[in-house]
Chain A
Amino acid sequence: MLRRATLILVLLLTLSSCAMAPAAPTIRLSELQPLPAEASAQVVPLRVSVASVVSPRGTVESYQPLLDYLSARLGRPVELVQRRTYTETNELIGRGEVDVAFVCTSAYISGRDAYGMSLLAAPQVAGATTYHSLLLVPADSAARSMADLGGAVFAFTDPTSYSGRVYPTSLVQALGATPEQFFDRIFYTYSHDDAINVVADGLADAAAVDSLVYDFALARDPWLAERVRVIHRSPPFGIPPIVVGPNVRPQLRAELEAILLGLGDDPAPEARAALKALGIDRFVSIDDTIYASARAVLTTVGPLDP
C-alpha cells in the first residue's frame, strides 16, 4: 500500500517536472557593464547629409530611394546624416564629417565662403532650376500681402533658410520694420513641411516656405489647398543645390557627378523611384551665377541673428 502511494507520488512529481517549462534566465539589472565597442566598418560609407528642408521623417521617406540607388551604383554603403538646422549641416561639410550635402540656397551661399563647399549638381523641377518663396496664410485669413500681417504670429522655418526667413525678412524690411518689431510673435519650425502644417492648423497666422516643398506637399495632400492660401510668390531664385566638401577626392566627385547627372536617363525602376520620391525631373549641372539674385537679397537684408 505504502509502496504504491510512494510510486504514485514519484510519478506525479516526474510528470509535473516534465510539464514545467524551462525557467527563463534571470536578467541581472544591477550588473552594469560597458557597452560593446562599435566594430570598425570594413567599407567606409559615403556620408550624405540633407539639410532639414523637410522634417527628419520626411527626409528619410524622400531621400532613401536615391541613397539606395547611389549605394548600388557606388558599390559601397551610403549613410544619411541629418541635423536639426542648416548651420549644423554646413558645419558637417566644413569639418569633413560628410562627403555630400543637399543644402539650402542661403546655406550654400554662406557655406561656399565659410567652408569651401562647391556645387556638384542641382535638381530640375518642371524644367526649371529655380524656386520661389511662398507667403502662406490660413485659407480663411483676410490678409492679402505682408503689409496685412502686422501684429501676426509668424513661423520662420530655419534661422538661415533663404525662402523661409531671409526673403520674408526682406519683405518686412521693405515695410520699414524688423520682423521682431512687425510681428507679435515669431517662432521656428525647423522644416518647411512643419511650417505649412502650423499655418494649416492655425498655430501661426503666416509662414514663408519653399515652393518646391509646398508643391510636393500639395501633390501628396490636395486637401491642403483648402486649408492654406498663397498670398505672395517671390521672384525665382537659384534652386537648393547638392554640394561637396573641400576634402572630397576629385575621383569621387567625378563619379558622383556622373551618377547624378545620368540618373534622369537611367530606365531602371530604382532610378525612376528615386526621382519620383524626390518629386524632381532629373539632376543637372549648375553654375554659381544662378545664385546671384539670392546673394543680392542676402546682402540687402544683412546679417540675421541666429
Chain B
Amino acid sequence: MTGAHTHHESTPLPRAVHWAERVWRVVGAVGIRAKILGIVLGLVALMGITATLEVRQILSRTLDAQLHERSVSVARDLAARSTDLVLTNDVYTLHQLLSDTQANNTDLRYAFITDQSGRVIAHTFGAGFPVELLDANDVAGDAHHASVLLTTDEGQVWDAAVPIFDGRAGTARVGLSLASLDRSASGCTRSSRPTAALPTV
C-alpha cells in the first residue's frame, strides 16, 4: 500500500494535481481585489509574451524569406559573371570573383563553381573542401535555381544552386548563413521584453 502511494507521488500527473491544489489554496486565501488585480496582471503579461513571441516569429519568417531570396540573387549574379571566366578557364579571376562576392556579402558562408561534369573549379574554403557539400544540392540546366536549407555544424545555411550558361558551363553554388537571422530575432526579443513588461508596472 505504501509502495503504491510512493509510486503515485513520483508520477508527473498526480504531482501536477498536488501543485495545483497548493496554488489554489494560496490564491483562494487572498481577497477579491487582489484576485482581480492578479488576473489583470496575468492577462497583460500573457499578452506581452504572446506579442513578443509573435513579433519574433514574424521577424524570423521575413528575414528567412529575405535570406533565401538573397542567396538566389547572389548565386544568379555569380553565375552570370562567371560564364566567360569558366569558358576561358580563367581560374585566377574566377577565384577573385568568388572572394570579392564573399567580402561584399558578410553572411555568405561559402561560394563555389563546378564545371559541367561536377568538378569544383574554384571555391572560397581555402585549403580543402567539405566534400559532403557537393551532393547536397543540384540544379537542372534549364531551371532558374534550386534551393536547399542545409543543416551544418555551423548552423543552418540557405544553399542556392544556379546553372551557368544553361548548365553548359557548370553550376554556381552559394551558402548564406542564418546566424544573422537568429541574432536579429534574439535582439528583437531582448529589446521588446521591457516594452512588453511596462503595462504590468
User: Which A residues fall within an 8 A CB radius of B?
Assistant: 2, 5, 23-36, 38, 52, 55-57, 59-60, 64, 81-84
Contact = CB atoms under 8 A, between A and B. Distances in A.
Contact of B153 (A2, A27, A38, A83): A27
B127 A32 contact: yes
Interface of B: 8, 11, 13-14, 83-84, 87-90, 109-110, 119-120, 125-133, 136, 150-154, 157, 165, 168-169, 175
A35 B120 contact: yes
A82 B153 contact: no
Main secondary structure of the interface of B (DSSP, over half): mixed
Contacts of A31: 130, 132, 153
B136 A84 contact: no
A27 B132 contact: yes
26 contacts: A2-B8, A23-B151, A26-B151, A27-B132, A27-B150, A27-B151, A28-B153, A29-B109, A30-B130, A30-B153, A30-B154, A32-B125, A32-B126, A32-B127, A33-B129, A34-B128, A35-B129, A36-B131, A55-B84, A56-B87, A57-B83, A57-B84, A60-B165, A60-B168, A81-B89, A82-B89
Nearest to A32: B128
Contacts of B130: 27-33
Which among A24, A27, A38 has the highest number of chain B CB atoms within 10 Å?
A27
A185 B150 CA distance: 50
Contacts, number: 84
Given A56-B87, A57-B83, A29 B13 contact: no
B165 A57 contact: yes
Contact of B136 (A27, A33, A35): A27
A26 B165 contact: no
Nearest to A34: B128
Contacts of A81: 89
A29 B110 contact: yes
B119 A38 contact: yes
A27 B133 contact: yes
A59 B87 contact: yes
A29 B84 contact: no
B165 to A, nearest CB: 6
Which among A23, A30, A35, A64 has the highest number of chain B CB atoms within 10 Å?
A35
Nearest to A83: B88
B129 A28 contact: no
Contacts of A24: 150-151
Nearest to A5: B13
| Closest CB pairs A-B (n = 7) | A32-B128, A56-B87, A27-B152, A56-B84, A82-B88, A28-B153, A29-B152
A53 to B, nearest CB: 13
Contacts of A55: 84
A152 to B, nearest CB: 27
A56 to B, nearest CB: 4
A34 B127 CA distance: 8
A25 B132 CA distance: 10
Contact of A29 (B8, B83, B127, B154): B154
A83 B89 contact: yes
A2 B4 CA distance: 12
A202 B100 CA distance: 29
A113 to B, nearest CB: 25
A52 B89 CA distance: 13
Contact of A56 (B13, B88, B110, B157): B88
Given A35-B119, A82-B88, 12 more contacts: A24-B151, A27-B151, A27-B152, A29-B130, A29-B157, A30-B130, A32-B125, A32-B127, A32-B128, A56-B83, A56-B84, A82-B87
Contact of B87 (A23, A29, A30, A57): A57
Given A27-B151, A29-B152, A57-B83, A35 B89 contact: no
A241 B157 CA distance: 51
Contacts of A34: 128-129
Contacts of B120: 35
A267 to B, nearest CB: 28
A26 B152 contact: yes
Nearest to B14: A2
B178 to A, nearest CB: 13
A26 B155 CA distance: 9
